[in-house]
Structure 1
Amino acid sequence: MLDPRDIYDVDADVAERVDAAAVRGAGPVLVHAVRGFVDAGHAGQVAVDHLVGAGPSERLVTFDVDQLVDYRSRRPAMTFDSGWTHYDAPELVVDLLADAHGVPYLLLHGVEPDTQWERWVAAVQQVVERFEVPLVVGMHGIPMGVPHTRPVSVTAHATRDDLVIDHTSFFGTVQVPGSASALLELRLGESGHDAMGFAVHVPHYLAQAPFPAAGLAGLRHVERATGLDLGLAALEPAAADVLHEVDRQVEGSSDVAAVVQALEEQYDAFTRSVGRTSLLAQASDLPTADEIGAELEQFLAEQSEGGDATG
């Protein structure tokens, strides 16, 4: 593996402030949500936008995306107006932020690396060790056969079982496509660092559009895991507005309302039988997740022809 130190730069002035804020050898926690892997309901991006917009931030680490991004598979946008006027350059960075009480923390965000995952993970581990980060926490959204009318749930995972002891396990052993974030958690655990993550369950019929309730739910779990105050009240109006609009559209079709009710029955059956290896309880008389998703997606697409289906 090539030297990880050659794919990132650290701002020395910001690094001094991070060091000065450390208390008795304990540095700031690191929260991460990178774009490129599955992020149903844009849960991770909703979270990042909220955190970055909540107050001042300083750029601590900048990764060399020219070495990490495959531009031909994920082409950045460019603006043409009688000539090229703007290039939307991809970024992968670590920012220094502070919570509502001034407690500093780090936020890793931007595009997921396309290449050199092991080298990038090693680079992030160097940052974790350089700034004595006690806990690394990630989040993103995954599409699930759940109704929007029930509390948003999550699948929690961690490098030590006791970090997620209070969370219900919704899955047994499964194999899924890998991600740079998942590899980061795995490698940090192998090196003795505490890391955890939250996969937010997003109704699959809402997976393609921003679903603020998912970002809000994920950040609430981040708050509980880290002790940070992330000012989440600011996200509540947007989450409520989208849920209200979805309710309005579902109520406009008895067929779709029946499908949502079926999902509710499956969800409620599961909550009464925690311990199953699948989020969906056995119910042969209910439609499958694919059937439900197809019907709802068609309905919401028809409703959104004159505007955004989720407001």
Structure 2
Amino acid sequence: MKDPAELYELADEVGLIPQGLPLVAALTGFTDAGGAVSQLGEYVLDTLNSRVVAEFDADALLDYRARRPIIYFDQDHLTDYQPQTLRLYLVNDELGQPFLLLHGFEPDFKWEQFTAAVLQLIDLFQVKTTTWVHAIPMPVPHTRPIGVTVSGNRIELTDAMSVWRPHTQVPSNALHLVEYRLAELGHPVTGFVLLIPHYLADTEYPSAAVASLESISAATGLIFPTDRLREEGREFLTKIGQQVESNPELEKLVGTLEERHDSYMQNSGLQNAGLRSPLTDEDGELPSADEIAAELENFLAIKRRGDDASPGFAGL
């Protein structure tokens, strides 16, 4: 393997970075249901003081044809090229507590070298704990708190917060590999998988960002300003509720999700780690597309902010 340090460039005066800080990682890539990760990174960097500690080499790690950068065409010339970035930041939370934030695109290439580079930075700054988040779509109702599945070696967090502990194979992302290598070394590491209502997976769902920040707070003790996100979330859910109430069939389908979710949560404390999914019926089967997906997607599919709203959600 090539030298991991070839993949990143340290900022000047890194010797002044405090040692023993928590590291938070949030990379956008394979899945980001509800825009949980992208919103988290943007919100933290917009609302808190930060500076770049290290920048990774996009030319070495990014597949530009798969995730093309944005450039603006201004009548007859090009302006405002916006390259994809992957950076390590030093950030101060709402109380002034410092932490490191790894945010940007998930690498398409050189996962082993990238993982080694992250471990190298963790060693360089004597990182205390590593916490990362991502989000997946699940047939769960928007009317219930967002649940999480927790991985890693911090048993107190797994026991207290993980609502679903499946035995399954999953497509991995780069931070799965980072967690796996850190666990091998005995470094305290936690991964939070947010379970986002599948019919809201393609939206920018403010409650998903709030759930991400709450999970990070539980693992690190960091405090984040979330008032704006919470207010946006309340407005978002109010408009969804209005749409559900106006369509009896849709209301019935959401009610079915609520019943299955509540039954699962009620019984989960009586079962072991082999709990079945909160989205299955009594026979352990997934709801069919005809029952759930078609109706919900027709009425609740909202394009990401900046696009035209779907006909079923005019005004969102």
Deviation (angstroms), 1:84:
1.7
Are 2:216 and 1:222 equivalent residues in the alignment?
Answer: yes
Q: String of CA shifts for 1:28-79, please: whole Å, max 9, x gaps.
A: 1111111112110001111112111112210001001100011122221222
Letter in 1 for 2:28: R
Partner of 2:281: 282
In structure 1, distance between residues paired with 2:93 and 2:154: 26
In structure 2, distance between residues paired with 1:103 and 1:301: 39
Letter in 2 for 1:197: G
Partner of 1:305: 310
Deviation (angstroms), 1:254:
0.7
Deviation (angstroms), 1:159:
2.9
Are 2:84 and 1:79 equivalent residues in the alignment?
Answer: no
Partner of 2:21: 28
Does the Cα contact within 8 Å between 1:43 and 1:211 map onto a contact in 2? yes
* Correspondence for 1:158 among 152, 158, 174: 152
User: Which segment drifts farther, 206-215 or 69-78?
Assistant: 69-78
Q: Runs of 5+ in structure 1 lacking a partner?
A: none
Q: Tell me the SS of whatever aligns to 1:273.
A: helix
Letter in 1 for 2:287: T
Q: Tell me the SS of whatever aligns to 2:150.
A: strand
Are 2:12 and 1:12 equivalent residues in the alignment?
Answer: yes
Deviation (angstroms), 1:189:
1.0
RMSD: 2.1
Does the Cα contact within 8 Å between 1:159 and 1:185 map onto a contact in 2? no
Q: String of CA shifts for 1:205-264, please: whole Å, max 9, x gaps.
A: 000001111110121111011011112233210111111111111111111011000100
Partner of 1:241: 235
Does the Cα contact within 8 Å between 2:200 and 2:301 map onto a contact in 1? no
Q: CA 1:139 to 1:301, structure 2 compared with 1: closer, same or farther past 3 Å?
A: closer
In structure 1, distance between residues paired with 2:162 and 2:202: 26
Letter in 1 for 2:96: G
Partner of 2:41: 48
In structure 2, distance between residues paired with 1:139 and 1:76: 24
Q: CA 1:187 to 1:308, structure 2 compared with 1: closer, same or farther past 3 Å?
A: farther
Q: CA 1:309 to 1:155, structure 2 compared with 1: closer, same or farther past 3 Å?
A: farther
Q: Tell me the SS of whatever aligns to 2:161.
A: coil
In structure 1, distance between residues paired with 2:70 and 2:141: 34
In structure 2, distance between residues paired with 1:34 and 1:83: 32
List aligned pairs for 1:73-112, cutoff 5 A: 73-81=66-74, 82-112=76-106
Q: CA 1:228 to 1:173, structure 2 compared with 1: closer, same or farther past 3 Å?
A: same
In structure 2, distance between residues paired with 1:241 and 1:106: 31
List aligned pairs for 1:177-192, cutoff 5 A: 177-192=171-186
In structure 2, distance between residues paired with 1:310 and 1:187: 46
Does the Cα contact within 8 Å between 1:76 and 1:90 map onto a contact in 2? yes
Q: String of CA shifts for 1:134-163, please: whole Å, max 9, x gaps.
A: 111111211011000111111111134344
Q: CA 1:58 to 1:295, structure 2 compared with 1: closer, same or farther past 3 Å?
A: same
Q: CA 1:203 to 1:84, structure 2 compared with 1: closer, same or farther past 3 Å?
A: same
Q: Tell me the SS of whatever aligns to 1:208.
A: coil
Q: CA 1:126 to 1:52, structure 2 compared with 1: closer, same or farther past 3 Å?
A: same
List aligned pairs for 1:117-196, cutoff 5 A: 117-196=111-190
Q: CA 1:111 to 1:270, structure 2 compared with 1: closer, same or farther past 3 Å?
A: same
Q: CA 1:301 to 1:219, structure 2 compared with 1: closer, same or farther past 3 Å?
A: closer
Q: CA 1:286 to 1:243, structure 2 compared with 1: closer, same or farther past 3 Å?
A: farther
In structure 1, distance between residues paired with 2:315 and 2:39: 14
Q: Normalised by the size of structure 2, how large is the TM-score? A: 0.90
Letter in 2 for 1:150: R
Q: CA 1:29 to 1:287, structure 2 compared with 1: closer, same or farther past 3 Å?
A: closer
Letter in 1 for 2:23: L
Deviation (angstroms), 1:284:
5.6
In structure 2, distance between residues paired with 1:39 and 1:157: 17
Does the Cα contact within 8 Å between 1:301 and 1:309 map onto a contact in 2? no
Q: Tell me the SS of whatever aligns to 1:73.
A: coil
Partner of 2:305: none
